[in-house]
Amino acid sequence: MELKTYTSEQHHIRHHHIDPQALTVLKKLQEAGHTAYLVGGGVRDLLLNKKPKDFDISTSALPEEVKKIFRNCLLIGRRFRLAHVRFGKQIVEVSTFRSGDPTEDELIVRDNIWGTPEEDVLRRDFTINGLFYNPLDHTIIDYVGGFEDLQKHTLRCIGDPYVRFKQDPVRMIRMQKFRARFGFNVQPEALEALAACRDEIRKSSPARVLEEILRMLESGASEDFFRLMVESKLLHILFPELATFFESSMGETLFHYLKGVDNMNTRGHYKLLDRSILTATLIFPILERSILDYPSPGPHLGQIMQMAYELIERLLFEPFHHFPRRLRLESHAIIALQYRLTPLGKRRQAKERVLRQKLFPLALTFLKLRSLVYAPLFKQYEFWKKAQKDALNQNSE
């Protein structure tokens, strides 16, 4: 692939979107005589006129050399050696240019072979993530045609998709992620490769897979992402029973809840929904259907709590043992609290007792989500929101 360089007159990146700490790291690395660029998703988002969540840097400096330059640096990882430059709670991740055979179709288990900028790009996943940016001279450096692909809204693998998915099967999930987030057209060869390689996802790190899924629940594009995960059968491999529910008659209800999650995460909500709420979103609609099918007079609260627990275990934990214990416990509590906030019978729970529940604020947010899906619940949400406000006012007096 021919190297192309693009100037500020061609790319129009807005520098006020770039984190000043990332600029500081870049400048110090270059002043020390090293090559250093912004890379990956941060560059992609800048070109799409979006404010990046993180700023990653690639450099010719070895991890130990980065540590010598920055006192506030911590080296992490053995298989994938990285430098984390810390500014309080903020971390700027710095990686050394890597090499490796981009045609070798074995699973990548170690990645500490240093290389050149071009070699580093050729081992990345998609062309839109293979761009370098040097903020100090305002140039985009493109070895793989990623700049043009961004203009054309095309998602294309770097190299042979079959090989790239076998090297790192999580790339198949990332492909669905970028399709959902950006609405890009994907190259036909990548879709064929996904169909042929999807069973390889079983070889991936469970922690990485779960993190990609949780991030997509936070992304504002979770509805489209899960539709693509179901369509590609990847969800059937990771969460088989949950995938069956998505394909059943209640699938659209689940997608409707995910649409509500997307709306709350992107429109006026002051922060992302807690991951326990996102987990509860995948379980609650299924629990509601189970309750409707329960023999008359219906389950009492203790039985509902047991039903919720069993669904979380069956749908999330049994197929995916790395599901965090905190998420399991908190999502269960949030679901159970819904039947105190909106009891099945006429009997209303004592307000004071419900308000004292540790996870009441999260349960109230989940009730708001439910009201987006089913508008008549909004009155109940307003009732409990006012009760919370009154309680806070009393405690402050």
Class of domain 1-151: alpha beta
Q: Which of 51, 47, 57 is nearest to 23 (CA)?
A: 57
Angle between helices 275-292 and 206-218 (to 10 degrees): 80
19 classed as catalytic: no
Q: Which letter does DSSP use for residue 348 in this model?
A: P
Written as one string, the DSSP assignment of 216-257 is: HHHTT-HHHHHHHHHHTTHHHHHSHHHHHHHHSTTHHHHHHH
125 classed as catalytic: yes
Domain edges within the chain? 1-151, 274-396
Backbone angles phi, psi at 44, to 5 degrees: -55, -50
Catalytic residue among 56, 149, 168, 224: 56
pLDDT at 110 over 60: no
Q: What is the 3-state secondary structure (H, E, C) of 165-193?
A: HHHCCHHHHHHHHHHHHHCCEECHHHHHH
Instruction: Tell me how far apart the alpha carbons of residues 370 and 217 are, in angstroms, rounded to a whole number.
Output: 16
Catalytic residue among 125, 149, 168, 224: 125
The owner of tokens 């629940």 is 217
Instruction: Tell me how far apart the alpha carbons of residues 326 and 307 are, in angstroms, rounded to a whole number.
Output: 19
**Interstrand relation of 73-76 and 131-134 (parallel, antiparallel or unpaired):** unpaired
Whether residue 123 contacts residue 99, with contact meaning beta carbons closer than 8 Å, is answered with: yes
List, for residues 3-44, the tens digit of each pLDDT value: 999 999 999 888 888 999 999 999 999 999 999 999 999 999
Percentage of the chain modeled with pLDDT above 70:
93
Instruction: Tell me how far apart the alpha carbons of residues 243 and 225 are, in angstroms, rounded to a whole number.
Output: 13
List, for residues 142-155, the tens digit of each pLDDT value: 999 999 999 999 99
Instruction: Tell me how far apart the alpha carbons of residues 124 and 337 are, in angstroms, rounded to a whole number.
Output: 45
By the 10 Å C-beta count (0-12 exposed, 13-18 middle, 19+ buried), 29 is classed as: buried
367 in helix, strand or coil? helix
End-to-end distance of the chain based on CA atoms, in angstroms?
69
List, for residues 325-344, the tens digit of each pLDDT value: 999 999 999 999 999 999 88
39 in helix, strand or coil? strand
pLDDT at 345 over 80: no
Percentage of the chain modeled with pLDDT above 90:
74
List, for residues 273-286, the tens digit of each pLDDT value: 999 999 999 999 99
Residue 210 pLDDT class (50, 70, 90 cuts): very high
274 classed as catalytic: no
Catalytic residue among 54, 105, 111, 160: 54
Task: Give the model's pLDDT for residue 153.
Answer: 95
